[in-house]
Structure 1
Amino acid sequence: MEDNGPSVNHHSSPYHVPVLFQETIEALQVKPDGVYVDCTFGGGGHSRGILDKLGPQGKLIAFDQDADAARNIPGDDRVLFVPNNFRHIQRFLRFNGYPQVDGLLADLGVSSHQFDEAERGFSTRFEGPLDMRMDQRQENTASDILKKYSEQQLHKLFEQYGEVTNSKTLAKQIVQQRNNNPLQTIAQLKAIISPVVKGNPNKYLAQVFQALRIEVNDEMGALKEMLQQVPAVLKPGGRAAIITFHSIEDRLVKNFFKNGTFDEQNDNPLLPVEQKNDLKIITKKPIIAGDEEIRRNPRSRSAKLRVAERKQ
C-alpha cells in the first residue's frame, strides 16, 4: 500500500526521494563503460547514482511518460531521455541503437512530486480534478472511469487493485449516485462515497485512489509488458532491479523472475511444464528499507526491491 504522505529528505531534490537508493545501485553492479536504463526517471535520484559510477564512455537511457520529469534531466551527454512509457522499452532501445544493455532499474512508486501537485489529482490530501494520468497525452482520466465503468468492473477494480474491503458496496454506491452527481473533482468523489467508507477514512481513500490510478495508467499491463522484454534487452550477466510498492506488483515481479512467466507454477510432478527462463534470481527474499530510511522517508515502508540477472 503506497502512502500519500509527504516525503522529506534534505540530501536530495524535493521532487522525489529515491527509495532503497544504495541497495539498488549496488545491486546493478554498474560498469564504468556500461549502458543502463532507468525505466522510471522521475526526479532522477537513482539515475544520478548510476551516473556517478559511469565513466565518460558509459550511457544512461532514462524513460518517463510524465512530461514534468523532463525538467529534471541533467545536462550530461551520457544521458538519453525517452519521453515514453517503459512498456515500449525494447522498441525505443533498438531505435536508439542499444538493442541490449548492462542493467535496468524501475522504481514503480508514484513520485512525491506527482502526489504534491494538486491539479494532477493523485492525492487525497488536496482538492483537484479526478485526473491521475501520468501521461497527459492519454485520454481516460479517473473521472472517465468512474462514469463509464459498469458496477461489476468497478467492483473488480477496487477489489483487485485497492484491496478495498467493501469493494462491492463501494461500486454499487458510485453507480447509484453518478447520474445525479458530478464526478469531476476529488471532493465530489469523497462526498459520494462517504456513506460507505469503512475503517480509517484516510487509509480507505488511499486504497480507492491507488486502485483508480493503477487502472487509469494501466500500470499492471505496462509492468507485464516491460518484464516480458527484460530477458531480451539485457546482455548476458546484465541485471534488472525492480522496486514495487504493493503486493500485486511484487507478485508479478517475483513470479516472472522465478519462472519466466506470470503464472503460479504447477507443482504436480505428473504435469511437467518446461518453461524457459533466461533469468536467475539474485535476491532470494526482497530487499526492504531499514528503520533509518523509513524514519526519513515513510513511503519507503512498503518498498520491495527484487533483482534478477540474465543467465550467461
Structure 2
Amino acid sequence: MASRRAVARRALQSVYLQSGVSRPTLATTLRLGQTANTCKLGGRKFHLSARQLKPATASALSSTATEYPTTHDQIQQPIDTQNFLDNQFVASNATQWIDLHDPATNNLVTRVPQSTDEELKAAVASAEKAFPAWKATSLLHRQQIMFKFVHLIREHWDRLASSITLEQGKTFADAKGDVLRGLQVAETACGITTQLTGEVLEVAKDMETRSYKEPLGVVAAICPFNFPAMIPLWVIPTATITGNTIVVKPSERDPGAMMILCELAEKAGFPPGVINVVHGAAKTVDFMIDEPAIKA
C-alpha cells in the first residue's frame, strides 16, 4: 500500500511538471464552503471575489471599462458591453444582444452585442489604417509600450481576476492564475525583440545574404470562454510586438477581462487601431474567418 501511494505521488508530480501548472496549495484547494471569504445568498455560498474592491453600483458605472463590474453586488441598471475601436469604447448599434449572468447569483451583469456588419468592417478598417505606422515603429519603441502594458496588468491583477470570477465563476485564486499565465507571455514578448531583427550571413567570399522579418498585417484572435485573460494575452503581445495589428473577439460569455485589457493597452501607449475588439457569436466568427483583409 505504501509503495502504491509513493508511485501515485510521483505520477501526480509528473503531471504538474508536464502541464506547467503549480501544485495546488491549501488555500486554493479548500472548498468554497470552508473558506472564511464566503457569504450566503438564498442558502447558497459563493466566493467573495472582489472584497478588496469598491462595490460596483449603477450610479458608479460608466460606459468605459474603468468601472466595469467586478463584484457580485446586483446592478440595478447594467451597462451594455461596448466595442473597442481606435482606442475608444464605442456603443454598439446591435439589434441582437446576449445576456451575461453572474453564475453565482444569476444576476444580470451586462448585455453583449452581436456586433453589426458595419462595426465588424470598421474594426478591420481601423486595424488596416494603423498597420503601416505601427510596422514602421521601431522595435525598441514597441518594446517600451509592452513594458508599460505588463506593468499595468500587474497593477490591475486583482481587478482582472475579480471580473473573471464574476462572469465565469472561477475561484479568485484560479482567476489570478488565469491572468498570470497570460502575463508570462506578455513578459516574454518584451524580450524577443532581438529575434525580430533579421540576420546577415556571409555565405561565400565577398557574398552575404540578408534576411528580413516582416509583419503580416491585420491578424485576428477568436478567444474561447475558459481563459478570459490568458488567451487574449497569448495573442495580443505576440501579434503587436512583431508589428501586426489585431482584431479580437472575446467570448460572449465573459468579455469583461478583455475590455479591461483594452483600457490598459490604451494607457500603455498603443496607438489607435493597433488593438480593436468586437463582440458576438457565430456570425462574428464567420466574418473574421472569411474577411480577406485579415491575414492570419
TM-score scaled to structure 1, two decimals? Answer: 0.22
TM-score scaled to structure 2, two decimals? Answer: 0.23
Bigger CA radius of gyration:
2
